[in-house]
Amino acid sequence: MVALKGKHTVTGIEGVSCTVIESGATVERVVFLKDLLSFKGYEVKTEGEKAKDGSPLNTFIIGITDITVNPTVVLYQKKLFRKDGQVVSPAYWYQWPDQWEIPYWQVHH
């Protein structure tokens, strides 16, 4: 799982320019983020990653079609919400379930 570092990266997924949300994502992570980002109204695109020799990997790149969005900024400005109405915290984003209610500055991972 790639950490959010504030860098805004754009790439082509399925022939569409997309803001990269995460690369190296597992199938479970794709499902989680796609559900979370679709709930916000973003159009989510995914694509399987390939090794340098062209063979498929078991990881995916996740992107959204809104290339003006920086995922780190959206997360820390508290502009993402869960379906239960709670703000998405960094702990929730990274799927640290035992720490969802702890403020991000107190999380020790």
Cα–Cα nearest to 23, from 41, 1, 43: 1
For the chain, domain boundaries: 10-77
Q: Is the pLDDT of residue 108 over 70?
A: no
- What pLDDT does residue 101 have? 61
Q: What CA–CA distance (Å, rounded) separates 49 from 96?
A: 25
Residues 39-51 pLDDT 10s: 999 999 999 998 8
Residues 8-46 pLDDT 10s: 889 999 999 999 999 999 999 999 999 999 999 999 999
Helices (H), 56-103: 71-76, 90-93
